[in-house]
Structure 1
Amino acid sequence: MWKCPTCGKEFVRQNENHTCEEIEKTIDAYISAQAEAVWPLLHQVRNTIRTALPEAQERISWRMPTYWSGHNIIHFAAFKKHIGVYPGEEAIVHFADRLTEFKTSKGAIQFPYDKPLPLPLIAEIATWCYKREISK
């Protein structure tokens, strides 16, 4: 066993590649750990989703800010050039015609920092995800 001298995690292989960073436990801590330049954008996304989903709990899941109500509803995260929003594959399909100007993948949308955030669309997607999940 090898133990990282920085974080104390133990690994089978010597000098295993890993991240030593502490996992943030709250959304406030997550935002504070990001580049200061993106704080306002992260707060905008957070406030938009929080307003759209007042019944949902905020938590960290998959190392991302998450809105939860019996299960994960939607996540968001900061990256080098964009904010990622993760509503799931079905939401991407449902909103495909309104997401054409953004990069999407199976369950994610990338909102680049150099374009205004489509906050009403993010709110609509979050609400759709919530309604879809509670109707199951």
Structure 2
Amino acid sequence: MITTAPKDINSYIAGFPQEVQPVLQQMRRLVQATVPEATETIKYGMPTFDYHGTLVHFAAFVHHIGFYSVPTSHEAFQEDLKGYKVGNGSVQFPLNQPLPTELIAKIVKYRMQENLETVSMTENAC
């Protein structure tokens, strides 16, 4: 597990056991493929994707991948998230199960649209 703050997503992923790294890479590739224009960074010590604001964060834990897409997407995907432990703005995807790639992609697209709508409203208010 990570003992120092990672400087980028590569170093974040490298700080985890070999068996966890492919899941983190899969999450990274999925977000990249869903919103290719998104930029990568580290915020709050977690891999973060930005696209006209924060899009999503993810983080590895002992038994799960935490996926953070802010609470608004929880409401929109309440039915889809029923099989997962959900917190305030987070979803836990167990490491012993395949990532729900279609669901994650839908949530990322939803967040992208939210960010674009926020930018549009801000521009129209000026």
> So what's the TM-score if we normalise by structure 2?
0.89
Correspondence for 1:36: 18
Structure number with greater CO (CA < 8 Å, separation at least 6) is 2
Correspondence for 1:45: 27
Correspondence for 2:87: 105
Cα separation, 2, equivalents of 1:70 and 1:96: 25
In structure 2, give the amino acid aligned to 1:130. Answer: M
> So what's the TM-score if we normalise by structure 1?
0.82
User: Structure 2 regions of 5+ residues with no counterpart?
Assistant: 119-126
Provide the aligned length of Structure 1 versus Structure 2. Answer: 117
Cα separation, 2, equivalents of 1:99 and 1:22: 32
Cα separation, 1, equivalents of 2:51 and 2:109: 12
Fraction of identical pairs, as percent: 34
Provide the aligned C-alpha RMSD in A.
1.3
Which structure is larger by alpha-carbon Rg, 1 or 2? 1
In terms of fraction of residues, the more helix-rich structure is: 2
In structure 1, give the amino acid aligned to 2:113. Answer: K
Post-superposition offset of 1:34: 1.1
Q: Deviations over 1:25-73 (max 9, x none)?
A: 1101100001211011111111000100111101101100000124211
